[in-house]
Structure 1
Amino acid sequence: MPGPLGIIAGQGGLPVALAAAATASGRAVVLAEMEGHPSGVPGGHPVVPFRVERLGRLFRDLRARGVDEVAMAGILHRPDFDPRRFDLKTLALVPRIFRGLKAGDDALLRLVIAIFEENGFRIRGAHEFLPEFVARPGAMTRTAPDPARQGDAARGRAILAALGPQDVAQACVVARGLCLGIESIYGTDALLSDVARHRPERRPETGGTFVKVAKPGQEMRADMPVIGPATVAGVAAAGLDGICLEAGRVMILDAGEAVRLAEEKGICIWAI
């Protein structure tokens, strides 16, 4: 029988779904939550609070609870460091950590995974426990994409393919061939909010496709792209009518509600 699954739990729906899936499979769950950033995962699971300056303590606390497998899920913000709090383990890692913080998200997450593995933990991807959440090819809504949506999606995929090697952007918005926005370090919600705010300055004011993909060679164990009902609501607020996902490399939280809301708002969702 495997031991408890440690979840480095950020915010959002993914750690909630992951903890529920692990529990349903018969595994205990231990939540590791960054101080000041509770995950909101229900169920009374043991919680190990941590600071990035004290990784040695985090590793000891997880091992003390029998954890040797770890999954990362949810939104984790890049931390501010207090050098006075570094323990010896973290102090030895400082040069690597600061180099990682200057890189893109995928490079930073690869570093985090390497550090955990060097300290004896096996890293598991959330999608391994939630395979039904991974987008499959084809239309998910009753409406299939028309040529305009398909054209915008192709343009969006080309933009993201060009940016991917620079470890920038999992998503963009294209309307009638014009790029209205590219996801930055601030994430999908910020992208869609920005498009919604600036739509009145551009023609057309409605229509267009939100495109979400994984970066080439992305470390999927720590950062498989995710959308959910909140994404659909953001797409609707931005005046868009299409969501194109990369099949097999994007997860959908609460897919039933996401599709219901999309159909209510006249949005087509499909994966290729």
Structure 2
Amino acid sequence: MSRLALIAGAGALPAELAAHLPDRPLVCAPDGIAPEGLQVDLPFRFERLAPFLRALGDRGIDTVVMAGAVHRPRLDPALFDRETASLVPGLLAALQGGDDAALRWIIALIEDFDLRVLGVADLAPDLIVAEGVLSARAPGPAEQADADRGLAVLAALDPVDVGQGCIVASGQCLAVEALFGTDAMLADTARHRPLREPQTGGVLVKRAKAGQDLRADLPTIGPATIAGARAAGLTGLCLQAGRVIVLDRACTLAEADAAGIALWAVP
């Protein structure tokens, strides 16, 4: 029988994923990260990544899933073991290529230690949004047009591995998600919208990047996303079906309905 390790980042996703699993996984987390609602069994440091991965095999782990937010760490050169230090040039080169390139490098490294890597969609498909309208209100023509524009913007950014979201209102791209994530993009939009038209309306579009390895860093929304969208004056959220995680779905949909926000997923 497979033994699973959950490499947990910040936020609610690790606990929600663990609740969907038949058996409790070995919960691992980078030093300094405390996933919400989960006790960490095995903390680790990125400077000692090789010994950590070897320790998983020693514990009988054969499968790994990654879930939750992990920001790029500050590395302490004094803490590296020799084997992990030898990996640093490859990691730094991958980081220059963007988040997806870095995650591909990490997945390949985990597999080099004879560990299988699965994604959230493999283990808890119910967390992934299906095509259709999720909210009480369906999007109107203007919102659908903004969503189409947003999807085109994100498709144009695919080759440079920039982000998984953008905001479009009246056909204008107000913001593109970059390193600081969706919450920061929404907060920045809320701060700047009073300064120019259109001051309200618009759609947040979330989708995976073309060619992205879907075993890590799937786009994720939850109640906080709805709160941020409401503060930014948005009226719609368009998601990519089969590629976006919806956390605490009942609460997320209730918050969207209370805010009058249309929430839907497209192929």
| TM exceeding 0.5 | yes
Q: What residue in structure 2 maps to residue 249 of structure 1? A: 243
Q: What residue in structure 1 maps to residue 2 of structure 2? A: 2
CA distance in 1, matches of 2:241, 2:24: 30
RMSD: 1.1
For residues 183-221 of structure 1, the C-alpha deviation after alignment (integer angstroms, 9 at most, x for no partner) is 001000000000000010121211100000110011110
CA distance in 2, matches of 1:178, 1:163: 16
Q: What residue in structure 2 maps to residue 62 of structure 1? A: 56
**Given residue 2 of structure 2, which amino acid in structure 1 is its aligned partner?**
P
Of the structure 1 ranges 186-195 and 222-231, higher mean CA displacement relative to structure 2 is found in: 222-231
**Given residue 5 of structure 2, which amino acid in structure 1 is its aligned partner?**
G
Structure 2 length-normalised TM: 0.97
Q: 1:95 aligns with which of 76, 89, 106?
A: 89
Q: What residue in structure 1 maps to residue 16 of structure 2? A: 17
The 5 Å alignment of 1:10-159 reads 10-22=9-21, 25=22, 27-42=23-38, 44=39, 47-159=41-153
CA contact (8 A) 1:48 1:61 kept: no
CA distance in 2, matches of 1:260, 1:41: 22
For residues 36-93 of structure 1, the C-alpha deviation after alignment (integer angstroms, 9 at most, x for no partner) is 1122333x5x611111110122113222322110000000010111111111221221
Of the structure 1 ranges 222-231 and 53-62, higher mean CA displacement relative to structure 2 is found in: 53-62
CA distance in 1, matches of 2:59, 2:24: 10
**Given residue 147 of structure 1, which amino acid in structure 2 is its aligned partner?**
P
**Given residue 14 of structure 1, which amino acid in structure 2 is its aligned partner?**
L
Runs of 5+ unmatched residues, structure 2:
none
**Given residue 199 of structure 1, which amino acid in structure 2 is its aligned partner?**
R
Runs of 4+ in 1 over 6 A off after TM superposition: none
Q: What residue in structure 2 maps to residue 258 of structure 1? A: 252
**Given residue 9 of structure 1, which amino acid in structure 2 is its aligned partner?**
A
Runs of 5+ unmatched residues, structure 1:
none
Q: What residue in structure 2 maps to residue 201 of structure 1? A: 195
**Given residue 205 of structure 2, which amino acid in structure 1 is its aligned partner?**
V
**Given residue 13 of structure 2, which amino acid in structure 1 is its aligned partner?**
L
CA contact (8 A) 2:12 2:35 kept: no
For residues 121-174 of structure 1, the C-alpha deviation after alignment (integer angstroms, 9 at most, x for no partner) is 100101212211111111101211110000100110000000011101100000
* 1:191 and 2:190 matched: no
CA distance in 2, matches of 1:262, 1:201: 25
CA distance in 2, matches of 1:240, 1:252: 18
For residues 10-48 of structure 1, the C-alpha deviation after alignment (integer angstroms, 9 at most, x for no partner) is 0111101111112xx1x2311111111122333x5x611
CA contact (8 A) 1:12 1:75 kept: yes
CA contact (8 A) 2:143 2:203 kept: yes
Q: Secondary structure at the match of 2:173?
A: strand
CA contact (8 A) 2:2 2:62 kept: no
CA distance in 2, matches of 1:21, 1:135: 15
**Given residue 18 of structure 1, which amino acid in structure 2 is its aligned partner?**
L
Structure 1 length-normalised TM: 0.95
Q: Secondary structure at the match of 1:145?
A: coil
CA distance in 2, matches of 1:49, 1:184: 28
CA contact (8 A) 2:107 2:117 kept: yes
